[in-house]
Amino acid sequence: MSELTLERGLAALRAEIDAPTAAFFSSCVHCGLCAQACPFYLETGDPKYTPILKLEPLRRVWENEFTLWGRIKGLLGLQKKVTDEMLAEWEELVYDSCSLCGRCSVVCPVGNDLYAMIRKTREGMVQSGHAPEGLISASVRAITTGSPMGLQWKTLAVQIQHVESSSGLTVPVDREGAEYLVLLSSMEIINFPEYLEAITKIFDHAGISWTLSTQCFEATNAGIQIGNKDIAAELVERVVAAAETLRVSKVISPECGHAYTAIRWEGPNLIGRPYPFRVFHIIEVLDELRAAGRIKTEGKEDDRLSLHDPCNLARKSGVIQQQRNLMALVAENFVDLKEHGKYQWCCGAGGGVSSNERAEELKMAAFKRKKAQIEEVAPERMVTMCATCRTQLEEGLEAFNMEIPVVGLTEMIAEHLVERD
């Protein structure tokens, strides 16, 4: 790859400026509501974390080069240009203090999508050489090994052996003509291997035809997180190639929020063509099986349980009621957080923040909003269905000395399946 420079960054920012971008900057009424929706701003009280301010590099390029007023200011020598120093200063704002949760976009009174604009800004930041080392390393590993954590199939093969030994079931691999291709995230393989065992049990119970692929088992999209369309498209192409090789009709994304929105919503645009298959989150599949009567459960959890809606699943994708339908199968004493579903508060770790070690302090500061929500309803356990959210909930609750275990909804469903005679 040629050298990353300011000029490349400016060119990338120019390329991102289109009609929606112009409409965005022209229509912003500077009301500040986006700030009131951002946990990074609210929990630090620092005005530099206001979402609209994070777009300043992109706004300057738009004003300077795409507006009459900007050109007049240029003739008068009054332009505020984007410089390397400015991009270096903004790197923390664009990456460390934004989880791409999209809550700011939901509350904007004129309908501006700040989340999408942050994504555009990251495209310029990467090309100018201003991206966090952690995300750069994750992106390189994703391209070279297929996993942002550098995992290879042999690691998953060990997990498969454990699942088969524990469950007595077979985990299908490279099974051509299966209905579903199941993708995992490296975090699930390393931190939450019980997820693979859970879906193995549930799909056996429901009579689902499925498979893993040795060609591509990971769908976490580091390209989306760092803001590089070429990397993002390459990672999507690998999933498509694996699905086409196995001739599956449906693909299940990992329990990783950004992986889900990347492969489901952004993927076809990234690669420039529609998929020959449909994409689902495991929660959507499980709820469809529930509705069809193909999941039979027995007994319910007595503990007071509450639910964390992952941003990408609930706010961006509308998978809200499905989670609660499944909770109703297994939870006797469920209580929703006060703000949930579309308006839930982010855990603070998404959008690559958790891959960025220097953002650890900010990530935990943002978590205080979720902590306060949890304290309000005082659950005995929290439930979620995103590996990144689950890790952040566990780490955050431990950091604040709150002894509240976090469990996965898929695993909970598996634990209550009616056993066959």
Partner residues linked to 280 by β-bridges = 252
How distant, in Å, are the alpha carbons of 100, 153, 181, 217 from that of 173? 34, 11, 10, 10
pLDDT bracket for residue 255 (50, 70, 90): confident
Q: Who wins on pLDDT, 254 or 412? A: 412
- CATH architecture of the domain formed by 295-414: 3-Layer(aba) Sandwich (3.40)
144-168 residue pLDDT tens:
999 999 999 999 999 999 999 999 9
- pLDDT of amino acid 43: 97
Q: How many C-beta neighbours within 10 Å does residue 299 have?
A: 10
Question: Is-same-fold flag (145-288; 295-414)?
Answer: yes
The fold adopted by the segment(s) 145-288 is: Rossmann fold (3.40.50)
Mean pLDDT of 194-220: 97
Half-sphere exposure of 354 (CA within 13 A, CB side): 24
Q: Is the pLDDT of residue 1 over 80?
A: no
219-248 residue pLDDT tens:
999 999 999 999 999 999 999 999 999 999
Torsion sign across C-alpha atoms 139, 284, 279, 120: negative
The fold adopted by the segment(s) 4-130 is: Fumarate Reductase Iron-sulfur Protein; Chain B, domain 2 (1.10.1060)
Q: Is the pLDDT of residue 276 over 60?
A: yes
295-329 residue pLDDT tens:
999 999 999 999 999 999 999 999 999 999 999 99
Task: Report domain extents, the chain.
Answer: 4-130, 145-288, 295-414
| Model confidence, pTM | 0.94
Q: Helix, strand or coil for residue 98? A: coil
- pLDDT of amino acid 257: 85
Q: Answer yes or no: are the C-beta atoms of 339 and 373 closer than 8 Å.
A: yes
Strand order in the sheet with 381-384: 331-334, 301-307, 381-384, 406-408
Q: What DSSP assignment string belongs to 327-351?
A: HHHHEEEE---SS-GGGPPP-S-TT
